[in-house]
Amino acid sequence: MGKLLKKEDLTRFLYKLRQRGDLIAPVKTNTTRFEKINDIKKISLEDIPQFSPKKFFVPQKETILKYDDNKISHKKIMGEKIIFGIRLCDINALHRMDKVFIEGDNPDTYYKKRRENTILIGYNCEKPLKTCFCESMNLEPVYDLFFYNMGNYYYIEVGSEKGSKLVSRLKDYEYDPVQIRCEKKLNKKLLLRHHQKNVWSKLTKDCVSCGKCNTMCPSCYCFTIRDENDETLRRGERVKEWDSCQYKDFTQVAGGFVFRETRKDRLRHRIYHKLLYFRQKYQKDMCVGCGRCITYCPSKIDFVEAINKLR
C-alpha cells in the first residue's frame, strides 16, 4: 500500500520538507544536476541527472581539519538533508558507499553524519538511457519514499518509517507500478575467467586516463589527503579530495614504484573492483548500472559490451 499526491500539491509538500533542512534536487541548466533548492519551481524531474548527488556526501574537495600550532579544529557536519528526485541507481550507490564508510573497517565520521541526517526520496526512471543496465545489478528498494509519475498524480511507495511519517496525511492508494526495462544487460559471470585475456588491451587502446569514469560514477569514492601548510609549516589545513584509479600516480609509492603502470592494468582494475573485489568483501557489486562511465567517456569505452563479448 502506497500514497497518492496530486501534482499540484508537490510544491506545498516539498516546501514543508524544506523546513526540516536543505532540499537537494535535480535542476536543469546546461545539463541536469543536483543542487540545493531555493526556488522549488526550478526542480526538473524529466531527465536522468548527468551527475549523481555524490558530492553532497563526499565533496570533491573539502577541508576536514585546520591546525594552528597545537590547536586542531575539526570540520563540523550539521543539519538535515532531503534528497528529492534521486534515481534508484544513485540511491543504491549511496548504500554501496555506506558499506565502506559506515560499516567498513575504518568508518568515516564526516560521511556517516551526512548519511544519518538524510532523507532519500527517489523518482522512477520513465525512459532509461541506452547505456543504462541497472536491471542486471540487483538494485534494492533502500529509500525512504519513492515517487512514480501517474499523469496528474504521483504514486508514492513508502520504504521506511521515516518516510511513512512524511506522508502519513496523504491518501492511501494501491498500485503495482510497471518496472521500466533496460535494453542493455551485463553478463557478469563472463568476467571471472578472463583477467589475463587480451580483451583488456583492446578495451583500453583508446583510454586517455582522464579519470572521467571515476568522477561521473555515483559509487567511486577513492580520495587523497594532503596537508596545505603556510610558510611557517605550523599552520594549515588538511584537505581531502577525489582521486582516480585511472591516474598513473594513484598507486605510486615511496621510491617511485607504480603498482598499476599501464592503462590496461588501471582500467581492468576498475572493472574488477566494481564487479568482483568489492563483492568479495561486501557481498554486493559496487557498480549500480547507471551507464554514466560509458555515456561520458571521451573515447566511448564500453566495458559492458566488452564483457558480454567474452567467451
Chain residues in the site for ligand SF4 (CB under 6 A): 207-213, 216-219, 246, 267, 274, 287-293, 297-299, 301
Q: How far apart are CA 161 and CA 256, in angstroms?
A: 52
Minimum Å distance from CB 145 to ligand SF4?
Answer: 23
Distance of CA 7 to CAs 10, 28, 253, Å? 5, 19, 55
Q: How far apart are CA 299 and CA 78, in angstroms?
A: 40
Minimum Å distance from CB 251 to ligand SF4?
Answer: 15
Rounded to the nearest angstrom, the gap between the alpha carbon of residue 247 and the centroid of all alpha carbons in its chain is 20
Among the listed residues 127, 124, 129, the one whose alpha carbon sits nearest the alpha carbon of residue 141 = 124
The secondary structure of residue 274, as a DSSP letter, is I
Minimum Å distance from CB 304 to ligand SF4?
Answer: 8
Q: Which is nearer to ligand SF4, 109 or 299 (CB)?
A: 299
Q: Number of C-alpha atoms within 13 angstroms, CB side, residue 45?
A: 20
Q: How far apart are CA 168 and CA 95, in angstroms?
A: 25
Q: How far apart are CA 164 and CA 157, in angstroms?
A: 9
Q: Are 267 and 274 in contact (CB under 8 A)?
A: no
Q: Number of C-alpha atoms within 13 angstroms, CB side, residue 175?
A: 20
Minimum Å distance from CB 280 to ligand SF4?
Answer: 17
Minimum Å distance from CB 92 to ligand SF4?
Answer: 9
Q: Are 59 and 50 in contact (CB under 8 A)?
A: no
Q: How many CB atoms lie within 10 A of CB 55?
A: 16
Minimum Å distance from CB 54 to ligand SF4?
Answer: 10
Q: Which is nearer to ligand SF4, 118 or 204 (CB)?
A: 204
Q: Which is nearer to ligand SF4, 85 or 211 (CB)?
A: 211
Q: Which is nearer to ligand SF4, 171 or 205 (CB)?
A: 205
Minimum Å distance from CB 157 to ligand SF4?
Answer: 23
Q: Which is nearer to ligand SF4, 54 or 115 (CB)?
A: 54
Q: Which is nearer to ligand SF4, 27 or 207 (CB)?
A: 207
Q: Which is nearer to ligand SF4, 102 or 129 (CB)?
A: 129
